[in-house]
Homo-oligomer: A and B are copies of this chain.
Amino acid sequence: MPPRSTVATTSSMPAAGQRVPYSVAARELLRNTLLDAACHELSSRHWADITMADIAVAAGVSRQTLYKEFGSREEFAQILVLREAESFLDAVEQAVGRHLEDPSKALAAAFDLFLTAAAENPLLRAIVIEEGAEELLALLTVHGKPLVERAADRLTDVMVAGWPLMRRRDAELLGDVLVRLAISYAALPNGPAGATAAAVSSLFQPYVEKLVKDGLS
């Protein structure tokens, strides 16, 4: 089995263990092999020092194949970041699911889990701590539209599914705000994860309780 370090399955998780035709699985494997190779390189060098040729070689593939699969260095970086985000979102969804009875606790648990994992994640550490990763940093912030939208969407979906009385437009706002806060605290922590999570959770508690209980807008 080709091992993926941080992510359980690939992006859109269709009913685990499903039968995938070889051609699809092979393409997925190629993309993951390349993304994995980049992650691996990142553990020893700065993003700015890693060339497309390095990544191709590390994946055991030609530079041409890399370009064919991900149009440009920019796109490659974008997808690298998005893939990592999916694994965080998987974890966050599970955390929320474990506290459906208490939205405030769910929020705190998800935030705590996210910040703790973020502090340990190799890719995020490379972006946040080290120099020479400005290009990647931009993908979380000024060029982070795809990331924020995708994350807010998934967060919205899990909230609407878990708390049916909550209106979608309220969940959308909350999702967007929470994602932005999460990224901010991941990029620039402010004390231990648990404390930040508790603080943010207490701040949103009244609002969330209201939405969940009587669905007011």
A residues with a Cβ closer than 8 A to B are: 1-5, 7-10, 16-26, 28-30, 32-34, 36-37, 40, 58-61
Question: With A3-B16, A29-B2 known to touch, is A61 a contact of B9 (CB < 8 Å)?
Answer: no
In whole Å, how far is A148's beta carbon from the nearest beta carbon of chain B? 26
Are A28 and B2 in touch, CB under 8 angstroms?
Answer: yes
Q: Which of B10, B16, B29, B37 contacts A19 (CB 8 A)?
A: B37
Cα–Cα, bound, A16→B2 (Å):
10
Smallest CB-CB A-B distances: 9 pairs: A21-B60, A1-B9, A22-B33, A2-B25, A3-B17, A22-B60, A22-B61, A26-B26, A1-B4
Q: Closest residue to A31 on the B side, CB-wise?
A: B22
Are A40 and B60 in touch, CB under 8 angstroms?
Answer: no
In whole Å, how far is A216's beta carbon from the nearest beta carbon of chain B? 42
Q: Closest residue to A25 on the B side, CB-wise?
A: B2
Kindly list chain B residues whose C-beta atoms are within 8 Å of the C-beta of A32.
1
Are A17 and B5 in touch, CB under 8 angstroms?
Answer: yes
Interface-centre pick from A2, A4, A20 (highest chain B CB count, 10 A): A2
Pairs across A and B, CB under 8 Å, 11 listed = A1-B2, A1-B9, A2-B29, A3-B9, A3-B16, A19-B36, A19-B58, A22-B59, A22-B60, A25-B33, A26-B26
Cα–Cα, bound, A137→B3 (Å):
33
Kindly list chain B residues whose C-beta atoms are within 8 Å of the C-beta of A7.
1
Kindly list chain B residues whose C-beta atoms are within 8 Å of the C-beta of A24.
60
Are B30 and A18 in touch, CB under 8 angstroms?
Answer: no
Are A8 and B19 in touch, CB under 8 angstroms?
Answer: no
Cα–Cα, bound, A176→B34 (Å):
44
Cα–Cα, bound, A16→B36 (Å):
15
Cα–Cα, bound, A28→B2 (Å):
9
Q: Closest residue to A27 on the B side, CB-wise?
A: B26
Are A10 and B1 in touch, CB under 8 angstroms?
Answer: yes
Kindly list chain B residues whose C-beta atoms are within 8 Å of the C-beta of A20.
2-3, 33, 60
Are A60 and B23 in touch, CB under 8 angstroms?
Answer: yes
Kindly list chain B residues whose C-beta atoms are within 8 Å of the C-beta of A33.
20-22, 25
